[in-house]
Structure 1
Amino acid sequence: MPGLDGFDTTLALRRDLRAGSIVIIAFTALDEADILGHLSHPTFDGYCQKGQPPDVLMALIKFSHAQLNQRERRLATCRGSSTSF
């Protein structure tokens, strides 16, 4: 998205209901303090610093995918429940 950095792009995706429950992982040269200091609330589901071994990024992707699947299963269970809140 021209003119937007990763933070702005992520916020735009989070605001767009068509994006649904996508997982967003920042792959960045910034360190943790820079990332956390830039955000007023969590925007990314995770981040990986550039220069890390590929298996670190793969582990983060697999973990995030598992979290998303777990969240979707809980939502499906709640939708199928006859309990009203």
Structure 2
Amino acid sequence: MKKKVIILYDLKDKTQVKKVQILRKLFGYRDTSNYSYQYEREGALAKVRCKRYKKAIIELDDSKDLAKVMEVLNQLKIKAEVAELR
């Protein structure tokens, strides 16, 4: 059975500009250019099976993806705590 993992991350000491940049890098965003073309920009967590709860909680469906997610959070210099669900 796969273990679910919850990651709590903290963006309190970041400015609003930094928060938006971080969330775009993590989850991606929709970009609109000239003539109403829309592009879906993928984030770092696009290939990881996860759900986003509230503002600062990520639930991973499989604990194998934890290393990938923590690597991304460390690169972005984000403090995070990990908890496993049974």
Q: With structure 2 as the length reference, what TM-score do the two structures score?
A: 0.27
Structure with greater helix share of residues: 1
Relative contact order, CA 8 A, sep 6+: which one is greater? 2
Larger Rg: 1
Structure with greater strand share of residues: 2
